[in-house]
Structure 1
């Protein structure tokens, strides 16, 4: 590679591609769940190509985060719009109250840490042999330095190595930290990602919400509306969501969470699958009815809401072969 730093023109290629894709998507009416799918699948698919080879400059990560944040909250051409969660909260995993979007800078470091791990294991491949001979001069990666004659990618690998040493505190601790990310001889980037990102407290009640049987928009509604900042909006005198319907909704949501999710044992139990789908669907149905009444002047009966929810649950759980869930489906038919 060119030993000089990459020019802004090359760095802007990724920004231009993401910006072009987002401008195309903004023409469509997408739910929050649909926007998250596009951000995770397309945007971070483009980023992975760059992040696996280079440590992106800080201005690039900030610009990409801003593009994704504006797209998610529906901010177009600088138009102001309300953001109910910070982008850092959205980037947290489901189990920590976030929407499971990768935090770009930490993900970038996690991808590059794989190269550091490869140089510690002395794997029999051409790149490892070349790096050990010409870049490290036979030294350990922990003693390696970046010189002006080295390429941009090697200097970025050394930066990630230094970040690992700073996190661990010593060479031995950094070595064991990297080895903790290995499973069956393969480096797990997801585990390395947890080393670099800022972890938040685990929320036990979110365990049932991680089931694949739950509709993404239902999961986002529960996790997004369970935040205390929504409660403060609904109970403040000057908030935009002040109404008796909002206060009742938040009270109902927190009551359902306390009753159903306070003692969730495991993700794959039939109780968690059924309670997660039922409560998440119920919360979404009530939230949708709340919006229809406040903004559309449309009011449905409780029987209509319950019937619609029951139909959605039957479709989502129709492929599940657990005897208890099959028994519930037969009972509701």
Structure 2
């Protein structure tokens, strides 16, 4: 669009769309400026000062009209009176006049029958005024742009929902410190954090001073993975109350996972006995635990391999190891190593 079609382009979303908050009945449409594209970032038209001047609390009358009517508005030749229709703020009017705006076109971003915001285009100096052919082209541009914006907004809302669900299903307070063990947990998204997965962990008090440690990872991402994670975590907590051996517990958990819409998850379950100084592991396709000995030598524990949860009918093996005093045991998901 810039610089071949216009000297400046700005995108403003409705505040209710950008924030997800509904506008009060009878309230004025308010906008959130989200993007600006100048032909030359170094001149008056593209400088940060102009962008600051255009980003005002008072929305432009023509922007409101375009949103209200759901149609584009074009002013082929801009004069002083038209500048005040383009912007309702004197500071912005002065900035547009200084930049030499000669022609203006604003078009609504409409997706699935809902107006999301507007695209504003400006031509300056001796540039040719906008005409009916330009108007037709802009209608095509905003139609495609609106779909992209709507998809981005939908993705953002889904991610926020998944993240909220995921965090609500995880332990909200640090685990109690059982006698003979010191437990620490960390939960942070890997990489850019643009995907919300189904990772989970838990610390479960068992009988006779034992402690159950769980780390799992549902394959996939989004709301669905977070919801399945919540079901598996709840099932694990219920089964742990029965004091089942790790392999037997994973067997029952595998049966549950097999009923959850062809979902698969990796998981490692460990029962630590501080009194005996031992820990018994069983794994469903999960990454091997790491044991760091008191002399700082680290070992990947070779827990018998098995298929992920949800495959069904696969036996799970166990591994029992000694935990010398002063040793460190680390359970983790693939976000740490990939």
TM-score tier by shorter-chain length is: under 0.3
Q: TM-score if structure 1 supplies the norm length? A: 0.25
Which structure carries more helix by proportion?
A: 1
TM-score (norm. length: structure 2): 0.25
Q: Select the structure of larger CA radius of gyration.
A: 2
